Amino acid sequence: LSDPLFWIMLLLTLVAAVRMANGGVGQWYDAESGEWVMRGAAVGSLPGSVDGGGRMEFAACLVILVVLQGCRHALGRGARCAFLLGFSAISGVAAAAECVRAGMGDRAVLAAMDCSFSNPSYSGVYYGIALLAGISAFSAGLQRGWYRSLFLFVFAVAGNAAGLFAFSPAVVTLVFVSAAFLLVPSGGIAAKLAPFFGEAGFLPKDFFPVHDLLSRLSLDMWSVHPWLGAGLGSFADGVRFIASSEDLAAIPAQQSAPFGLHWLVLAERGSIGAFLILAPLAVLAASYVRRAVSGVAAGFPPPSCFAGFLVLPAAVLESLAGVSLLAPGAMTAFMLLFSVAASSFAKVKSNV
């Protein structure tokens, strides 16, 4: 109970529960005026969401609240390595299964492989985080002499590399330093590799003008609802009511989010929501830096410590143009991996 991160995550979980229950955000047709209007949440003074839009976020907050404490305070060095290996291996199995489904022509999986910039949330980011966890576990396992688990380490790394490559655009794959794989259909491979050989750009040709336009519209949405935001999941509908006809013509069809996590957080969650997201990340980052300084001074730290050093810049870079880390799976994976990395350093007096 002395850990400030526990209380921050408890508050974040309670807010997520309120947001989940306080639905109703969305378009509504006013028969009297004959116009479509943007309806707010059932209780306007509380955080809201579209109907059913906050369930997965609440579940993710609950998982992080419970598991994060175990990662920070109850795992020894061997347990941390096993945790990273287990997490990465299970994710690798899921990635391999998704690639097999893509090879069998599953339309939903093939649609996810397209990685459209109209929905800049990519499941491959989750596999990228799991890949970094697998690499750290692989190094730690070799150091501890876990040679019998070598195949599991290799499978975890290869499977997550495949998932990152398949379900992320080339620029995100480049950020996470992915490896190529063989299970994706040949057409998918060609589309993914084209930017690396100069046959296509890493970003759409109109990316920056659309980025600036969506950023401005997000800022306009935030100015209307500065504290609580317009509501979770409301960006796609809300932007239609504040954009001019010229703006709407320039926005790609089915655009569900701006290009940048910070813009989506401000538009849908407001200043209070942004603070609640940044607060636990700030505590984890401060914990990592403090333990890193002390751990390096005391001697060479274990390999699992470097997971945080690897995942943080990759996540920050991806968030500048995407919103993948707001997905419950990616956010949970990032928080847990960063927590394990921080707790792997030698604990110092009055550290958090």
56-79 pLDDT, tens digit per residue, is 899 999 988 888 888 777 777 788
pLDDT at 197 over 50: no
Residue 215, pLDDT score:
94
- Across the chain, mean pLDDT equals 82
Average of per-residue pLDDT across 100-104: 87
Mean pLDDT along residues 261-272? 94
Structure tokens at 220: 């306009």
| pLDDT tens-place string over residues 147-169 | 788 788 888 888 998 898 889 88
CA distance 321 to 234: 19
Whole-number pLDDT of residue 126: 92
Residue 64 or residue 197, greater confidence: 64
- Which pLDDT belongs to residue 179? 33
216 CB-contact burial (10 Å; exposed 0-12 / middle 13-18 / buried 19+): middle
- 27: which residues sit within 8 A by CB, 6+ positions away? 36, 37, 38, 39, 237
Of 292, 286, 333, nearest in space to 309 by CA: 292
pLDDT at 299: 65
For the ranges 206-215, 245-254, 257-266, 302-311, which has the lowest average pLDDT?
Answer: 302-311
- The answer, yes or no, to whether residue 302 has pLDDT greater than 70, is no
Instruction: Find the mean pLDDT for residues 271-299.
Output: 83
Residue 184, pLDDT score: 37
Q: What does the pLDDT average to over 91-109?
A: 89
- Tens-digit pLDDT profile for residues 29-44: 777 777 888 888 889 8
In the structure encoding, which two tokens stand for residue 164, read together?
């990152």
Instruction: Return the minimum-mean-pLDDT range out of 52-56, 181-185, 318-322.
Output: 181-185
| Percentage of the chain lying above the pLDDT 70 cut | 87
Neighbours of 188 (CB within 10 A): 19
Pairing of strands 26-30, 35-39: antiparallel
Q: Is 194's pLDDT higher than 90?
A: no
16 against 141, higher pLDDT: 16
Mean pLDDT score, 218-236: 93
What pLDDT is attached to residue 79? 83
Q: Taking the alpha carbons of 228, 234, 235, 237 in that order, is the dihedral positive or negative?
A: negative
Does the structure show a pLDDT above 90 at 216? yes
Angstrom distance (rounded) from CA 45 to CA 48: 9
Poorest-confidence range of 83-92, 108-117, 264-273?
108-117
Residues 18, 53: contact at Cβ < 8 Å? Answer: no
The answer to whether 218 and 257 have CB atoms below 8 angstroms apart is no
- Whether the predicted pLDDT of 21 surpasses 80: yes
What's the whole-model pTM score?
0.82
Asked if residue 228 has pLDDT above 50, the reply is yes
Beta-bridge partner residues of 29: 36
Closest among 256, 309, 277 to 119, alpha carbons compared: 256
